[in-house]
């Protein structure tokens, strides 16, 4: 065992010494340009400017292929433009039927956020639509800024 350790130590030491002393000579590369050769041509800045203008006008990285209306400047404070508010759309409510006896229930279809009809008792509300009154076969609903008077659908004759 001792001879193996000695051989390994000698190998490591000789490798370190060989690596430290073996510095390759780096020859200085001679210039590949002959002394009588002309300097490279100057960059055509007019053509580059025209190409840059064409790119800015066509903006190849936008879907519309035209520059944006808002100029990008990360140092300028953000100016928020208020979006025009869309007029509220009144949902097309229908009275599918009246159920029960006192107290009466109304089956209302077309309430926003509901796929099927909603069964409401007097005073109940669903998604902002409130069952206000019942007069004969007519139901009065109130929501947002609108009031509906719905009459039950008649059977097909």
CA distances from 41 to 5, 32, 38, 45, 49 (A): 66, 17, 9, 12, 17
Residue 31 has a pLDDT of 65
Q: Quick one: average pLDDT of 122-142?
A: 92
Is residue 156's pLDDT more than 60? no
Residue given tokens 């006008």 in the structure block: 57
Residue 157 pLDDT greater than 90, yes or no: no
Verdict on whether the full-model pTM lies above 0.75: no
Residue pair 141/94 in contact by the 8 Å Cβ criterion: no
Q: What is the pLDDT of residues 58-110, one digit of tens each?
A: 877 878 777 777 777 888 887 777 777 777 777 889 999 888 888 889 999 99
Q: Tokens 């519309």 correspond to what residue?
A: 64
Q: Where are the domains of the chain?
A: 94-151
pLDDT (mean) for 129-155: 88
């Amino acid at each position: 065992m001792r001879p193996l350790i000695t051989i390994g130590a000698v190998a490591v030491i000789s490798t370190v010494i060989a690596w430290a002393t073996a510095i390759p000579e780096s020859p200085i590369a001679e210039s590949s340009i002959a002394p009588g050769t002309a300097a490279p041509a100057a960059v055509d800045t007019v053509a580059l400017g025209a190409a840059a203008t064409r790119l800015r006008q066509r903006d190849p990285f936008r879907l519309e292929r035209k520059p944006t209306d808002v100029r990008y400047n990360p140092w300028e404070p953000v100016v928020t433009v208020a979006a025009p508010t869309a007029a509220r759309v009144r949902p097309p409510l229908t009275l599918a039927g009246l159920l029960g006896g006192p107290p009466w229930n109304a089956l209302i279809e077309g309430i926003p956020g509901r796929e099927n009809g909603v069964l409401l008792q007097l005073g109940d509300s669903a998604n902002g639509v409130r069952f206000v009154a019942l007069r004969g076969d007519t139901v009065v609903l109130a929501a947002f800024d609108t009031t509906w008077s719905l009459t039950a659908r008649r059977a097909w004759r």
